[in-house]
Amino acid sequence: MLDQIKGLHHVTSMARDARENNDFFTHKLGLRRVKKTVNFDAPDVYHLYYADEAGTPGTVMTYFPFPNIARGRPGTGEVGTTVFSVPEGTLGFWEQRLAEQGVTGIERGELFGEKRLAFDGPDGDGFALVEVRDDDRAPWTQGGVAADDAIRGFHSASMRLQDAGATAELLKFMGYEEIDKAGNTVRLAVKGDSNGADIIDVETLPVVSHARQGAGSVHHIAFAVENRAKQLEVRKALMDTGYQVTPVIDRDYFWAIYFRTPGGVLFEVATNEPGFDRDEDTAHLGEALKLPTQHEHLRKYLEQHLQPIED
Ligand code: ZN
């Protein structure tokens, strides 16, 4: 069993409208936009990153806003709910705040003894807030939400699968252990020390058809490793187990490897190094359009054609 993975690194989803997406995560949820760049494989599409102050792994929600993309159809073989951690006793505040801002799908619930508040993202994305006692991660406090209420980072990601068995086994191989079970949902958590974003829920829905990815769908989830050496250890172990893993890819702010899991969800393993301050000061993260070297020659075109988004 591996011990290099320290929790989630980031969650990447698809959206239809960059401006609406930016408004939702910065103004409604109070996260910080820590990077405004482009999809390295399709540079006419933004890649927007929302997180805590520094873009700490385990707090980073990212989006590809594809203009005119159709909305996804929820189903199995995907991450159905991305869950953020908020302090104990704040769900009332959040319920009122999100309702006032016109957020849809707001619903109180409880899972594994934790109070949660489900809500829809800008394209019907499945989100929830969960009250966590003593989450000591420092929140971003300049986003219009007081420090006592603000999002701390990810609590978990919840996958919906037709058959959870092989994916649960994979997660155990990756260093997770089963810590609870409720109905058709199994909860796994990182066994060793983690960055706080240490939970994956796996829900089994044998007769629900496969999702069709689109706006509001999670594209992939990334797991955090400290550095490139640990990443290579994970890559080798996965390949020795029979997984087809991509070569290491430079994403400028982290190094990435990807592989498809048995249940259909795309997994990534991303390094904590070098981080989001490698090309701009922490004080000004996310303000300027940053382009990878290979796309810098497109800057003029992209600055004219990418939809302007507010700060
Ligand atoms: Zn990624």
Distance from residue 283's CA to the centre of ligand 1 (Å): 24
pTM value is: 0.98
**Averaged pLDDT for residues 151-160:** 98
Q: What percent of the chain is predicted at pLDDT more than 70?
A: 100
Distance from residue 149's CA to the centre of ligand 1 (Å): 28
Sequence spans of domains, the chain: 8-305
Distance from residue 12's CA to the centre of ligand 1 (Å): 6
User: What pLDDT is attached to residue 257?
Assistant: 98
pLDDT higher than 90, residue 311: no
pLDDT higher than 90, residue 126: yes
Distance from residue 154's CA to the centre of ligand 1 (Å): 15
Distance from residue 221's CA to the centre of ligand 1 (Å): 6
Instruction: Write the CATH number of the domain with boundaries 8-305.
Output: 3.10.180.10
| Span 58-76, pLDDT tens digits | 999 999 999 989 999 999 9
Q: Per the structure block, which two tokens stand in for 247?
A: 């070569």
Distance from residue 269's CA to the centre of ligand 1 (Å): 8
User: What pLDDT is attached to residue 258?
Assistant: 98
Rg for the chain (alpha carbons), in Å? Answer: 18
**Averaged pLDDT for residues 158-168:** 96
Distance CA 224, CA 114 (A): 24
| Span 264-295, pLDDT tens digits | 999 999 999 999 999 999 999 999 999 999 99
User: What pLDDT is attached to residue 97?
Assistant: 98
Distance from residue 42's CA to the centre of ligand 1 (Å): 14
**Averaged pLDDT for residues 214-229:** 98
By the 8 A CB rule, do 74 and 80 touch? yes
Distance from residue 188's CA to the centre of ligand 1 (Å): 21
Distance from residue 89's CA to the centre of ligand 1 (Å): 32
